[in-house]
Amino acid sequence: MSWSISFEKKIFDFKVPSGTSRGILTQKKSWFLTLSNTSKPGITGIGECSVIEGLSPDFISDEAYESVLQKLVEKPDFYISAIDNLRDYPSIYFGLEMALKDYLNGGKELFYDTPFVHGKFKIPINGLIWMGDYDFMLKQVKTKIDEGFRCIKMKIGAIDFKKELSILELIRKNFSAEQIEIRVDANGAFEQSEALQKLEKLATYTLHSIEQPIKQGAWTAMRELCTHSPLPIALDEELIGISSLKQKEELLQTIQPQYIILKPSLVGGFKGTEEWINLAHQFDIPWWITSALESNVGLNAIAQFTSKFEPSNYQGLGTGSLYTNNIPSKLHVENGYIQLV
């Protein structure tokens, strides 16, 4: 068997500039791998290597990133047989892993044969509220609720904290915690000295959890927050760059979070995500899976992978409608569920 790999970069344009604590996003890059083999001419597997500048641990520049991809082009047999050599490049690992699964299943965008793939299972998802001014964020909240979402995830940390609290207060005046589950995501925006005080204020609105209140890497400070916070804490960016099983176990033992959030493009693909899930089960830590701004190609693969676990809790897979030039997909979101139709 002789493998062949090629890659192509594509830039996706956001329909609406999307705010995070790291800045405003207007475009998003992905590199697509095409995998083929002389044993089955005509069949190709497609994988998406999705990066977020400033967050993806394996992305410094286009040139540096493509130099790694070029190694796959030059030595495809080696990297397919020894994919763990890419552990330090989680998005590329995921792209190759995805392309290989697609190829081995006939090049039909079939990654996992689950009820979800056959239209017999729907995955509950949250509705994402991007940062912006007060009116913009409030409008998004109303839209998501009108669309049938029963869980919303609101990014916080960019506008005045009191205004963010007022949005939460308005939601809670109209919807109880039983009616609408609210998750907030700080993307590490809080200073350590103020974090606990802010968490206490947020907790008054009966929130489900907060993602990454302080910047990643401060394990001791995060452990203190997880111990004393009245609001459950979910680790997100904290997991990025932790590639060995020993490191993963050490992180969970040290911080003891209430939840962990798994983004395959950032934590090493299906394999890396499943390692986190297995450890989370050992430590009795609930988890959910989130896409990381992939196109519909990567989102489809992540949704199929997630469906393996038949989750009943809300997953973060509602990013398929972000781009003006997204790749066509059979994924469909309705009433707060994602499904293949």
Tens digits of residue pLDDT in 296-326: 999 999 999 999 999 999 999 987 788 999 9
> What is the rounded CA–CA span in Å between residue 59 and residue 116?
32
Segment 6-17, tens digit of pLDDT:
999 999 999 887
CB of 231 within 8 A of CB of 259?
A: no
Angle at 30 between CA 322 and CA 28, to 5 degrees: 45
Please identify every stretch of the chain with a pLDDT value under 70, giving residue numbers as ranges: 1, 19-23
- Please report where in the chains the tokens 């090629």 appear, as a residue: 6
Instruction: Respond yes or no: is residue 28 known to be catalytic.
Output: no
Angle at 95 between CA 91 and CA 101, to 5 degrees: 140
> What is the rounded CA–CA span in Å between residue 221 and residue 216?
10
CATH of 3-104, one of 3.30.390.10, 2.60.40.10, 1.10.287.3510, 3.40.50.1220: 3.30.390.10
pTM of the model: 0.94
Instruction: Respond yes or no: is residue 308 known to be catalytic.
Output: no
Closest CA to 33 of 52, 14, 83: 83
- Please report where in the chains the tokens 């609290």 appear, as a residue: 165
What's residue 20's pLDDT? Answer: 61
What's residue 151's pLDDT? Answer: 96
Burial class (CB in 10 A: 0-12, 13-18, 19+), 160: exposed
CB of 141 within 8 A of CB of 175?
A: no
- Note the CATH architecture for domain 123-340: Alpha-Beta Barrel (3.20)
Determine which one of 29, 144, 215, 263 is catalytic: 263
Domain chopping of the chain, boundaries: 3-104, 123-340
Cα torsion angle, 337, 287, 158, 198, sign:
positive
Determine which one of 29, 122, 153, 155 is catalytic: 155
